[in-house]
Amino acid sequence: MNWPLFALAVAAFGIGTTEFVIMGLLPDVASDLGVSAPAAGMLVSGYALGVAAGAPILAILTAKWPRKQALVGLMSLFILGNILCAIAPNYGFLMVARVVTAFCHAAFFGIGSVVAAELVAPDKRAQAVALMFTGLTVANILGVPLGTAFGHATGWRSTFGAVTVIGVVAAIMLWTMLPKKIAMQSGNIFQEFRAIMATQVQLSLLTSTLASISMFSVITYIAYILLDVTGFTAQQESWVLLLFGAGITVGGLVGGKLADWKLMPVMCAIFLCIAIVLGLFSWTSHYKWPTLVTMFAWGAFAFAVVPAAQVRVLDTARGAPNLASTLNQGAFNLGNATGAWLGGVAISIGLPLTDLPLIGSAVALLGLATVALSASLDKRPKLAA
């Protein structure tokens, strides 16, 4: 057991649970606070925009912090944000609380990815990052379904109270299990910002954004699809999300291994598979058993791209790993916000819920094109630079 990686995974579990569990609870939150479904969906966008906005801010503030202390401090901010979510008296307060919680997200996964990669041999970096992100996938297997069921049974606020406890446990584990001294990145933060302006770094960040837009244009409103289109009950919805989380876990681990093998061809194949599966979901969402199969496959392919995209950013921004890794989390969550907004617009203009997977499929094809372009630039070093 690599205990430092385990501690990072537990923290990732808490962060992943608080990020994704809101989607299963959207109908409850909307009913309790008296807002519409698209307005409730903006709580997903608000969190994601908080991650995107917090990425450069926290990257600057933590640039010279020892990495261990930075990670523990970020978890403390996470704890505060979830306490505020649990006691939120109205929609506006909850939105602010979600943004506060989100501020720790990008910097934690950014710094955590660099630390995870440094804890293993160079040819195991993607697998180490995938192991840390396993906490995020387990959040989808256990945290989100159980948190959704717990929220349905005892009120959505209690879910955020439970996540607060997870955050406290994670902070203690990080403090006790991470090495006392972890090598700090040298260099000037402004030089690092210049380094990330390279074409290949920007294409890598765009790839992450498109991957998230594809996923969140659908997953944000998955409760409405499962309940209103497929015909699952609220209790059955939790089990479907559990199956989706199982697919995410498999995809994250397998994706990490494949990314250490052949990074760019694997990323191209993953985006193509995402596009195909989401295209099929527009049809299978009408039927319960085909929906179960599709949800598992979609989860696997959608998350297989995460460790690959994270390592790709580290490869293209070797002069600024902390900053690039942190901003990549911002890119993922900018995609989360954009996807949630895009899905909300589609619903607002009257498109059927079954059109959301087609939108996600089209965005995945854009991701495939971006990866193909970046791979072609790898063969032309001068143009890539």
Q: What is the CATH number of the domain that holds 346?
A: 1.20.1250.20
Counting the structural domains of the chain, the total is 1
- 33-45: average pLDDT: 85
Return the pLDDT at 93: 94
Residue 132 has pLDDT above 90, yes or no: no
Query: Where is mean pLDDT largest: 56-65, 110-119, 239-248, 269-278?
Result: 269-278
Measured between alpha carbons, how far is residue 284 from residues 103, 288, 303, 339 in Å? 37, 8, 20, 21
Return the pLDDT at 327: 83
User: End-to-end CA distance of the chain, in Å?
Assistant: 40
Return the pLDDT at 381: 60
Residue 110 has pLDDT above 90, yes or no: no
Q: Which domain holds residue 210?
A: 3-384
Residue 234 has pLDDT above 70, yes or no: yes
Return the pLDDT at 182: 65
- 238-264: average pLDDT: 86
Distance CA 316, CA 64 (A): 22
Residue 114 has pLDDT above 90, yes or no: no
Measured between alpha carbons, how far is residue 1 from residues 119, 177, 222, 248, 252 in Å? 12, 12, 35, 22, 19
Residue 12 has pLDDT above 90, yes or no: yes
Q: pLDDT of 53-75, one tens digit each?
A: 887 788 778 777 888 888 999 99
More confident residue, 129 or 86: 86
More confident residue, 298 or 136: 298
